[in-house]
Structure 1
């Protein structure tokens, strides 16, 4: 009976049970070939997925990136007692302000001899003749002293998430600032904690061979209030944009920081040039 059903095509012959011993028949040669092909396809699929994931984690650097890293992160000298800080991440973007120029952001890990740090450099040229125009070897440390309205929010750390922001911040008719954004978070503690995340914008100006921080402004605040007793957890966020004003102070354009939703008491903040940095009007001695 089983063979009759199998011959009729209702049940595959390789799955038919014998009447005695309930043992399974061995699959035919065609079935073995199908299984082998299936196994090969599965192997190729997973191998492709693994290669794609590796490509995402470890992208192949361009010749310009290789030349920039070789120029900015030299190999330690032979016999040097203090090893150089290892490079943990980098980012390179072209800068349209100068022909052939690029901005490089470097993140160095912490070692026993030095703290972690973020470097930013302006380079120009082709991979074979690349040169450094200006550099800041510890951007976070040099930006901590910039004036901000709320010192309690100023928790910049080299380990913060960082990325280049090369929007055309034209601060004067002849100068354009370089932007770097850092995201910092506050830890939750206590019975009714409020966790916050702030994204900061640091503007840097090329002064000789140094990229000098000239402005620090919070661009996004996210507050997450966790449940406390009968209160439900909720999140609030404030987004800000930086606009170039038509007015100038000391030959440099004023900068307007606008928030959304609009702050009831501060619909916008005006930053004015003081000769070395940008300062909000509220922190200026002559502000009324």
Structure 2
């Protein structure tokens, strides 16, 4: 059967752009709303922000999963490309490049959209400093756990529960990691474009992205150790209404 995303079709790229845009709009917009509704309680602000993000992420995976896999995250796309190289079931290098560009552009657009929805300047670079070793460790842990979860589900033939599982993990990681679990290079870049509750200063972005790439390496190593071969159910091909071609079912 053909590779599930053998070429850089415009539908998956549009899905990744739109999905990441809406994800960042949800993260930033709910942060602004939380700061407005609970100005004197940072803990409640984080709760409101994390709950909104959890539900939004689950919904977005349901919407865009059948079109692009709903990666919405460069580390997920890189892992998909790397883990699928031998079986030719992952992204091609060309498609990977398109996904990463679309995700990053979508994240920046999402911040701008959220800013405009709340009558803020369209672009206002964040002044929230998040540069510290313990925060980078938090990002490494958060990203490794996310990669491990997603590809454990895929390789064990359980992609159908990904919307709930991934949303739940990110919601929990808001609270058990010191960094509040960005776990996404594109989202990290996008959040630099808003000086709100969810923002991160541009100077802090490289440290977070490097930590996330470190988490990617840890997550992929754990997948190789724990799930060395995909479950047969993970290799089933289906006819998709979006392209009319066969592609392996997947959620990531």
TM range (shorter): under 0.3
> Whose helix fraction is larger, Structure 1's or Structure 2's?
2
Give the TM-score, by structure 2 length: 0.25
Q: Which of the pair is proportionally richer in strand?
A: 1
Higher relative contact order (CA closer than 8 Å, sequence separation 6+): 2
Q: TM-score, with normalisation over the residues of structure 1?
A: 0.23
